Amino acid sequence: MEKMPKWADVVLIPLISLILAAGLSALVILAIGEDPVAAVKLMVDGALGSSYGWGYTLYYATNFMFTGLAVAVAAHAGLFNIGGEGQAMLGGLGVAVICLFIPWPHWTIALLFAALGAGLFGAAWAAIPAYLQAKRGSHIVITTIMFNFIAAAVLNYVLVNVLKPPSSMDPASARFSEAVHLPTLHELLAPLGIAFSKSAPANVSLLVAIAACLVVWLLIWRTSLGFEIRALGKSEAGARYAGISPVKITMIAMLISGALAGMMAVNNVMGEAERLVLNATEGAGFIGIAVALMGRNHPFGVFLAAILFGFLYQGGAELALWTKIPRELIVVIQALVILFTGALDNMVRIPLEKIFLAFRKEAN
């Protein structure tokens, strides 16, 4: 018998974890000598109070949807992909190569191939850790961490020695051509008569991210491959007994995960910067961990959690602008969310289970 109803597991536990994280963050704000209530008001105003704020919130959320889905897909196979950051960096390289060297006639075709290229590069970067985990038993967490650092070195080398225009001092690629410019939400919504801020970076990749959420949902819960991935995640011995090859599923799950992380580059490299810069990912790969934990590895949960973190990122930037609270507050909140929803899950879960059991006894 389940110890508590499913809704408590899916909704209540993340909510309590979030409240704990928010409470501790409020204490941190108090300790700095600022007013937490005013800070929350400022964050809501700055991130959700205008279409400009929404434009940034949704831009960040797009990144986090991709990286959150990447972590979630791997987690369903029982793998902890901590390498989303490196995979997203390589995805950026894929986007840059496709946008710089091929004269695209229209952004729609460019977007399709850029997404493919980004996914391919991201998947390739996940392939080696996946192979080593599947075939040689090397711990995927350690190898993906190592691959994050190797990715940073590769990107540094490529930007400085290959992609940097000779006249430039900045370690960044040349600007992409006008033809591959992705329409922003302003440009998309203007024909419909909806006014949206011109200067916000949210763009058509948001729709790609939402589509990715849907596809991942279909994949995990409506296909036999998804079933095999979940079976492997629940029990390797059970999966093997059912004739599922752990090597094959580990590879496939990690390739999909890497591709999703890589596809983030469509948003930040092609949609926003329109050139490849050093540290284009800005830690979004790691935020994917918090997003997936918060969203309970469900695509809809990831979608909501990504918007929440998008709000935190944009709100945090506003706080840094108007108060003494530095941007790093967001890193602390992110850490607390990971801590409570991930590592200290049992701390919330065990007392809650006891409460539900007590209620059940009374009802009987």
Give contact residues for another protein (rule: CB under 8 A).
28, 31-33, 80, 82, 128, 132, 136-139, 141-143, 145-147, 149-150, 152-154, 156-157, 160-161, 286, 289, 293, 324-326, 328-336, 338-339, 342-347, 350
What does the alpha-carbon distance between residue 122 and residue 260 come to, in Å, rounded to a whole number?
A: 7
Considering the complex, what minimum distance in angstroms separates the CB of residue 286 from another protein? 7
Residues contacting 69, CB < 8 A, separation 6+: 212, 213, 216, 260, 288, 292, 299, 302
CB nearer to another protein: pick between 83 and 94: 83
Do residues 84 and 70 touch, judged by C-beta distance below 8 A? yes
CB-based contact 57:47 (threshold 8 Å): yes
Q: In this complex, which beta carbon is closest to another protein, that of residue 35 or of residue 328?
A: 328
- Kindly tell me which of 180 and 255 has the beta carbon lying closer to another protein: 255
Q: Compute the half-sphere exposure of residue 231: CA atoms within 13 Å on the CB side of its CA.
A: 18
Residue 58 near residue 189, CB atoms below 8 Å:
no
**Nearest-approach distance from CB 362 to another protein, in angstroms:** 26
Q: How far apart (Å, rounded) are the C-alpha atoms in residues 121 and 117?
A: 6
Please say which residue, 157 or 359, places its beta carbon nearer to another protein: 157
Nearer to another protein, 218 or 355 (CB): 355
Count of CB atoms situated within 10 Å of the CB of 179: 13
Nearer to another protein, 64 or 104 (CB): 64
Rounded least distance, CB 126 to another protein, Å: 13
Q: How far is the CB of 299 from another protein (least distance, A)?
A: 20
Smallest gap from Cβ 27 to another protein, in A, equals 12
Smallest distance from the beta carbon of 302 to another protein, in angstroms?
A: 16
| Three-state SS annotation for 299-364 | HHHHHHHHHHHHHHHHHHHHHHHHCCCCCHHHHHHHHHHHHHHHHCHHHHHHHHHHHHHHHHHHHC
Report the residue number, 69 or 338, with the smaller CB distance to another protein. Answer: 338
State how far the alpha carbon of 186 is from the alpha carbons of 203, 272, 274, in Å.
8, 13, 17
Round to whole Å and give the CA distance between 29 and 250.
43
In the bound state with another protein, the residue whose beta carbon lies nearer, of 161 and 199, is 161
H/E stretch holding 133 reads helix 107-136
Residues 6+ apart with CB under 8 A from 190: 196
> Considering beta carbons, is residue 222 or 354 the nearer one to another protein?
354
Instruction: Tell the smallest beta-carbon distance from residue 196 to another protein (Å).
Output: 32
Give the Cα-Cα-Cα angle 116, 117, 123 (nearest 5 degrees). 90
CB of 207 to another protein, least distance (A): 30
Residue 153 in 3-state DSSP? helix
Task: Name the minimum Å distance from CB 290 to another protein.
Answer: 8
**Cβ-contact 81, 259 below 8 angstroms:** no
With respect to another protein, which residue has the nearer C-beta, 149 or 359? 149
Q: Which two tokens stand for residue 194?
A: 């909806």
CA angle 169, 172, 178 (to 5 degrees): 115
Shortest distance (Å) from residue 172 CB to another protein: 16
